[in-house]
Structure 1
Amino acid sequence: MDDRQSIDLAAMLCSRLCHDMLSPVGALSNGLELLAMETDQEMRANVMQLLEQSAHISTNKLKFFRLAFGAAGGFGERVDVEEPKALIEALVADKAKITINWALADTTLGKPAVKVLLNFAQIAIDALVRGGTLDIGAERRDGACEIVVRASGPKIAFDETIGKALDGSLDRSDLSSRTAAAHMIHLLASESGGGLQYHRGEDALVLGAALPEGEGLIG
């Protein structure tokens, strides 16, 4: 990937982060304005509750993006699986219609695997517009980390350009804040000698990855 493409990808990832953070941060700003004007104690208590909720959502999203998009400073070459697990569970905490089933065979994952797992989960959650089930599995086998995320529900919303970004067939002109994360993990998987795949059915979306593990794969 040349410098221009690297800059474009970084810009699109920043746009995605800003888009996702706008709502909870905007709620914080609006809540503070209301708090400054409100004198009724009951109303002030309600506003404080909303501020706490927005601050919690903002913190969870920033933690998610730190591992999903960033260099994940502060972590070693491998990350305890409880870290991405907690972040994904936080993403669906306010989505009562989505349930998660876990099948994580190992106690740690390499950073590239964590990035793929988190981004797969985000794509799958976005696909479950009417709720459903999220099945997330990962295990090391034959020198590679295999990851599968399956979203099943009554309605699956999936932009095919995201699929193209995952399998590497995305045209450069289609790179956007919507496809940037999928394109990023495609590059990450390719650099490690691995690959990503997906299958969309009427009531399910399956995302899969095989990432060889070895030197230089601490991403």
Structure 2
Amino acid sequence: MTTFALDALDLAALLCSRVCHDVISPVGAIVNGLEVLEDDNDADTRVFALDLIKKSANTASAKLQFCRLAFGAAGSAGASIDTGDAESVTRGLFGDDKVKLDWTAPRVLMPKNKVKLILNLCVIAAGTIPRGGVVTVSTSGPSEAPDIRLVARGVNPRVNHALAGLLAGKPENDTIDAHAIQPFFTGLVARQIDYEISIGTLDDVVLIEAKPVAAPVHADTVPGAATSIERDPNDVFDL
């Protein structure tokens, strides 16, 4: 089975749809708050509206800053990105949400596509614990080609059955929509930088690892693909 080829224009359109989906809710809340300020002179209501506008503006800004690094150019070709900036935008994305971020990776300058991979894996990790929890991010090895590790802890974590195919560039029925474009894009980034991704679950933990492809690549591990793995509990919790 060959890797699914997505037209460049379709990729751009779907990523734009994903970004719009992320920001339309807080932007809509800002509009609603402004309408309340125009139509209602009650002091308490105006305080509520101003608070809504402030929180929604901060949320929209955080989402856009994250998308700029995770999906955008974020610098010229070959540029490096400070992982401190990556941590900052990820904390802003998670905000006061039910998923908390534990970023233990060192602050270094890292090639931008490797930072993109980390950020996109953060989104995937958070998606595996829909009822909330903690996502821990760590890296090891040289900053030019680090091993990346994310541990998502939460109640009843789940890995979408379509995730492996999307990361491998082999979506079900050879179709991609705006909901599926983010993991598909993550797989594209991984293959471009010759990384392989593995995902395993154990009890209330999801372990995601991304490492440079070692030659030869085993048949059951595809660059950019997710595979089920069994791990000793001590290894999973050893951060």
- Compute the RMSD of aligned alpha carbons: 2.4
In the aligned structure 1, how far is the partner of 2:35 from the partner of 2:99? 33
Q: CA deviation at 1:6?
A: 1.8
Match of 1:50 in 2: 52
For residue 162 of structure 2, give the secondary structure of its aligned residue in structure 1.
Answer: helix
AA partner of residue 21 (structure 1): V
What's the CA shift for 1:106?
Answer: 4.5
In the TM superposition, residue 172 of structure 1 has moved relative to its aligned partner by 6.3
Once residues 172 and 154 of structure 1 are traced to their aligned partners in structure 2, the CA distance between those partners, rounded to angstroms, is 31
In the alignment, structure 1 segments of 5+ residues that lack a partner are: 213-219
The counterpart of 1:80, out of the listed 66, 73, 82, is 82
Question: 2: CA distance between counterparts of 1:3 and 1:101?
Answer: 35
Q: CA deviation at 1:164?
A: 1.7
Cα 1:75–1:185 shift into 2, 3 Å: same
Q: Quote the residue 1:64 is aligned against.
A: 66
Task: Tell me how far 1:53 sits from its aligned partner.
Answer: 0.5
Residues 179-188 or 113-122, more deviating: 179-188
Greater relative contact order (Cα < 8 A, sep 6+): 1
**Contact 1:149 1:208 survives alignment (8 Å):** yes
Q: Is the 8 A contact 2:4 2:171 kept in 1?
A: no
Which structure 2 residues correspond to residues 174-213 of structure 1 after superposition, within 5 A? 174-211=175-212
Q: Structure 1 residue 196: deviation in Å?
A: 2.0
| Rounded Cα–Cα distance in structure 1 between residues aligned with 2:179 and 2:54 | 29
Deviations 1:128-171 (A, max 9, x none): 22211211012334962211111111121432222321233324
- Where does 1:131-142 land on structure 2 (aligned, <5 Å)? 131-141=132-142
Distance 2:170 2:5 in 1: 20
1:83-142 deviation per Cα after TM superposition (whole angstroms, max 9, x unaligned): 1101111122222x4333222135222111111111111111222222112110123349
- Identify if the C-alpha distance between structure 1 residues 170 and 25 changes in structure 2 by more than 3 Å, giving closer, same or farther: same
Greater share of helix? 1
Q: Structure 2 CA distance, aligned partners of 1:159 and 1:2?
A: 19
Q: 1:159 to 1:125 in 2, by over 3 A?
A: same
| Corresponding position of 1:173 | 174
Q: What percentage of residue pairs aligned between the two structures are identical?
A: 30
The runs of 5 or more residues in structure 2 that have no matched partner are 214-239
Aligned residue for 2:219?
Answer: none
TM-score, length of structure 2 as denominator length:
0.79
User: For residues 136 and 193 of structure 2, what CA distance do their matches in structure 1 show?
Assistant: 25
SS in 1 for 2:72: coil
In structure 2, the CA distance between the partners of 1:34 and 1:13, relative to structure 1 (3 Å rule), is same
Residues 123, 2 of structure 1: alpha-carbon distance in 2 compared, 3 angstrom cutoff: closer
Corresponding position: 1:128 with 2:129: yes
